[in-house]
Amino acid sequence: MKPCSIAILGSTGSIGLNALKVVDQHPQRFRVKALSAYNNFQLLESQIKNYKPAHVAVGPQGLAHFKSTGMKGVKFYPIENCAQIASLKEVDTVVLAMRGTSALMPFLEALRAGKTVAPANKEALVIAGDLIMSEARRHKARIIPIDSEQSAIFQCLDGQKLKPVLVHLTASGGPLREVRSKDFKRMRPKDILRHPRWKMGPKITVDSATLMNKGFEVIEAKHLFNLEYNQIKVLVHPEAIIHSMVEFTDGSLLAQLGITDMRLPIQYALTYPERLPTGLKRLDLTQLGSLNFEEPDLKRFPCLGLAFEAARRAGTLPAVLNAADEEVVEKFLHGKIDFLSIYKVVEKVVLRHKIIKNPSLQDILQADHWARQEARNILEKLCH
């Protein structure tokens, strides 16, 4: 079989590293044609030596470094031109493992070039899901999600062949599930960054603590599977063994179960519809004991309610929610604001926004810019 040529955008992050481990597991199946990273050019350099991509996009510091040292056979691009390497002729599949809205243009360009896109990144779908899905349809390009919940839904629906009446999006409950609400104010980044089930990048781990991450996944699922927002139920499932479920009109439920290791959904996206061994330990059902489920507590985790509202009202609101959250979480991670301020600031920005319905790309980018500025203005007064 001809190897699949892949571009991994965000190769130095948690998802990017796991994607490269999948490549290591099946070296005969993949050729790494392109990589990108932002700051961590030392790690990127060792990846270039290992995987020999011909195209690499990197942030300004890395670009200056590689320009001075040079690397034979590699073409370097400024990170802003990442979309160019997502649409290269020699690439079959693009793994979107970069964080933030910077994934939007590479996502769109890859689809326009007819590539298969495997997004772990959720921000792009949150802010511009309608545009992305319409480009995918127009160019007959495939999207096979990596995000574990979306992958679970995709697997239960056998790709996109079946139509569910409901999707049960499971949530582990995050690092604060067992913390008393009155202690939330005291939570520092180091407390939050100890996620009980998943080892992920810092931004998504904070979003898991507020449950904003689950809210983003509701919006993501709505677009990926063409659902109404009220067809998506969030279900807290602390063991994180069931990665999501779909319910059909006859009341039957299908679930996807697995260990909590992102290599599983990454490999599935890269080998779909084939399944190959992962080399990971297998799920031992006899060791599980019991599986528990509970309703999410929207009073304790109001960011989830805010995201439901953004999913319902749509237009430019999800972009505003995402941009404000990105600004605010950054400040929290730098110890500038307390945990409870995350919701307060994001909510203020969301309430001030005048929604544009059926937005163009330009409207979305403007809303993103506006929300960041609003959040910064509010944060300036708050920051210690």
* 232 closest CA partner among 240, 244, 242: 244
Q: Identify the helix (H) or strand (E) that includes residue 254.
A: strand 253-257
Q: What span, in angstroms and rounded, lies between the C-alpha atoms of 326 and 361?
A: 19
Per CB under 6 A, which of residues 61..90 are in contact with ligand NAP? 79
Q: Which is nearer to ligand NAP, 4 or 43 (CB)?
A: 43
Peptide bond preceding 273 in cis form (omega within 30 of 0) = yes
Count of H helices and E strands in the chain?
A: 15, 10
Neighbour count for residue 20 (Cβ, 10 Å): 23
Does 151 interact with ligand NAP (rule: CB under 6 A)? no
Q: What span, in angstroms and rounded, lies between the C-alpha atoms of 354 and 197?
A: 38
Distance of CA 371 to the CA centre of its chain: 20
* Pairing outcome for strands 55-58 and 75-78: parallel
Q: Which is nearer to ligand NAP, 149 or 249 (CB)?
A: 149
Does 97 interact with ligand NAP (rule: CB under 6 A)? yes
Contact stretch for ligand NAP (CB under 6 A) within 119-127, 155-163, 165-173, 324-332:
119-127
Contact stretch for ligand NAP (CB under 6 A) within 94-102, 163-171, 173-181, 185-193:
94-102
**Which of 120, 132, 321, 337 touches ligand NAP by CB under 6 A?**
120
Does 204 interact with ligand NAP (rule: CB under 6 A)? yes
Q: How far is the CB of 106 from ligand NAP (least distance, A)?
A: 9
Q: What span, in angstroms and rounded, lies between the C-alpha atoms of 326 and 362?
A: 19
State which amino acid sits at residue 12.
T
174-185 burial, b at 16+ Cβ within 10 Å, e below that, comes to: bbbbebeeeebe
Contact stretch for ligand NAP (CB under 6 A) within 118-126, 324-332, 346-354, 360-368:
118-126
Does 16 interact with ligand NAP (rule: CB under 6 A)? yes
What are the two backbone dihedrals, phi and then psi, of residue 172, each rounded to the nearest 5 degrees? -70, -20
**Which of 7, 20, 32, 38 touches ligand NAP by CB under 6 A?**
38
What string of H, E and C letters represents the secondary structure of 270-323?
HHCCCCCCCCCCCCCHHHCCCCCCECCCCCCCHHHHHHHHHHHHCCCHHHHHHH
Residue nearest to ligand NAP (CB): 13
**Which of 86, 98, 212, 310 touches ligand NAP by CB under 6 A?**
98
DSSP 53: -
Q: Which is nearer to ligand NAP, 261 or 297 (CB)?
A: 261
Binding marks (x or -) toward ligand NAP, 251..270, rule CB under 6 A?
-----------x--------
Q: How far is the CB of 249 from ligand NAP (least distance, A)?
A: 30
> Is the distance from CB of 26 to CB of 277 less than 8 angstroms?
no
Does 375 interact with ligand NAP (rule: CB under 6 A)? no
**Which of 5, 6, 7, 14 touches ligand NAP by CB under 6 A?**
14
Query: How many CA atoms does the CB half-sphere of 336 hold within 13 Å?
Result: 16
Neighbour count for residue 205 (Cβ, 10 Å): 22
**Which of 7, 34, 37, 379 touches ligand NAP by CB under 6 A?**
37
**Which of 5, 7, 13, 301 touches ligand NAP by CB under 6 A?**
13
Q: How far is the CB of 22 from ligand NAP (least distance, A)?
A: 13
Contact stretch for ligand NAP (CB under 6 A) within 197-205, 242-250, 275-283, 351-359:
197-205
Binding site for ligand NAP (CB under 6 A): 10-16, 37-40, 79, 97-100, 102, 120-123, 147, 198, 200-201, 204, 262
